[in-house]
Structure 1
Amino acid sequence: MSTEISGMIECRPLARIFGEDDEDAIWHAAVDLFLLNTGNAYDALACLFGVRNSFGFRPLSEGRGLPDDASDSVRGVFSSRVEAQGPYGTTWISWAELAAVDWDETDRSGRLSRSMVAGPQTHWAPVWTVMRTLAELHGPEHVRLVVWFD
C-alpha cells in the first residue's frame, strides 16, 4: 500500500509587523502541496518526517501533530481527511528550522544525504522555493509546512 503526503504551506504575515501576540497575527494557508508536485518518494518522507523510515534518517520533524494555531483552511482540509481516511504522521516544520538543517547529514548507511533525497535538486525544490520566498517577506519563523499522510 502506498503512502501519500498531503498538506499546506502556511504563513503569518502580520506577526512580523504587529508581533506574534497581536490578534491579527494569525496563520494563513498559502499553497497546497498538491500544487507543488512533491511526489511520495519514501526516502524523502523518511528524511523529513520519519514516515516509512526504513532508510535510517534522523527525521527533521516527526509526530508533532496539527499545530494548535493552524489556519482555518488547514483545519478544514485536515478535518475532511480525518472523516474520509484517517490520516497519520501529522507534523509540521518551520522555514527557520529547515534553513538550519545540515543537508549533508546522511542516513545510517552513509549512502544517502538529506540533500540527495529532499534537497533543492529534488521534487521538493518548489516547496523550498515558496517557503524561502515567504520567509524573505514575513520572517523564517512565520512560515511553516504542515503535513499528514494517507
Structure 2
Amino acid sequence: MGADIHGFIECRCTYGTLDEEDSRWHAAIDLDLLYGGRNYDVFGCLFGVRNYAGFRPLAEGRGLPPDVTTEVRDHYESAPDLFHSASWIGWDELSAVDWDEAALTHDARVHEYRYSPEHGWYASGKSFQNLDGRSEGDEWIREGRLMRVGRMTRREAVHEDSEWAPVRATMKSLADVHGAEYVRLVAWFDN
C-alpha cells in the first residue's frame, strides 16, 4: 500500500498589516492543487516518511504547529484513523538547506538505468532487490539495465524541475511578499 501526502501551505499575512504581531496565519493553498505525485524521496528527505534513501529528515514528527489554522486542523482531524505523521517546515528552513548534503546511508533500493544511443544511461527507476552482499557504489548489468547501489543527495531527491517545483515556487512567491519566516508547509500522510 502506498503513502500519499496531504496538507496546506500556510502564510502569515504581513503585507498591509500595521502590527506584525496582530497578523495571523491563513491556509493559503491546499497541497492537492499543487502536487499530485507520490515521491518517497521527497517524503523521506523532508519528513522522514518512507525514507528508503536514508536521509536525515529536515522536519520529522513535529505534529501540527500550535498556531495552525482552523481550516488545516479540521482537514487533518477529518480522518483520524487514516492520517498520520503530521509535521511542518518553514520556507526559511527550506531556503537554507544544503541541497548537496548526502543521505546518511546508501539507498535501500537499487537504482536502475536504461541505455539509449541518444542520451546514454539514464535513470529509469528504483526497486527493492536482494543486494546479495553488495555495497555502495557496486554496479552490475541485469536484463540490459545498469543496476547501482548508491547514496542520494537532497538535490536529487527534491530536484528543482520535478513535480515538487510548484510547491517550492508557491512558497517562494509568498515568502517574497510576506517574509520567509511567515510561510510554511503543513503536511501529513495516509497509507
Judge same fold: TM > 0.5, yes or no: yes
Where structure 2 has 5 or more consecutive residues not aligned to the other structure, the ranges are 107-149
Q: Is 1:138–2:136 an aligned residue pair?
A: no
2:145 aligns to what?
none
Count of aligned positions: 146
2:166 maps to which of 110, 115, 126: 126
* Greater Cα radius of gyration, structure 1 or 2: 2
1:104 maps to which of 94, 100, 103: 100
Deviation at 1:39, TM superposition (A): 1.1
SS of residue in 2 equivalent to 1:31 = strand
User: Contact conserved, 2:7 with 2:187, CA < 8 A, in 1?
Assistant: yes
SS of residue in 1 equivalent to 2:79 = helix
Counterparts of residues 65-104 of structure 1 (less than 5 Å): 65-82=63-80, 85-104=81-100
SS of residue in 2 equivalent to 1:21 = helix
Instruction: Give the partner amino acid of 1:117.
Output: A
What percentage of aligned pairs have identical amino acids? 50
User: Contact conserved, 1:116 with 1:122, CA < 8 A, in 2?
Assistant: no
User: Contact conserved, 1:93 with 1:146, CA < 8 A, in 2?
Assistant: yes
CA 121–76 in structure 1, closer or farther in 2 if over 3 Å, else same: same
2:6 aligns to what?
6
When normalised by structure 1's length, the TM-score is 0.90
Give the stretch that moved more between structures: 108-117 or 126-135: 108-117
Instruction: Give the partner amino acid of 2:91.
Output: W
Q: Is 1:116–2:156 an aligned residue pair?
A: yes
Instruction: Give the partner amino acid of 1:7.
Output: G
Deviation at 1:42, TM superposition (A): 0.9
2:144 aligns to what?
none
Q: Is 1:62–2:60 an aligned residue pair?
A: yes
Deviation at 1:145, TM superposition (A): 0.1
Alpha-carbon distance in 2 for matches of 1:63, 1:19: 32
2:25 aligns to what?
27
Give the stretch that moved more between structures: 105-114 or 32-41: 105-114
Deviation at 1:44, TM superposition (A): 1.3
Deviation at 1:19, TM superposition (A): 4.5
Deviation at 1:16, TM superposition (A): 8.3
Where structure 1 has 5 or more consecutive residues not aligned to the other structure, the ranges are none
More strand by share: 2
SS of residue in 2 equivalent to 1:34 = helix
Instruction: Give the partner amino acid of 1:26.
Output: R
User: Contact conserved, 2:11 with 2:27, CA < 8 A, in 1?
Assistant: yes
Alpha-carbon distance in 2 for matches of 1:94, 1:133: 13
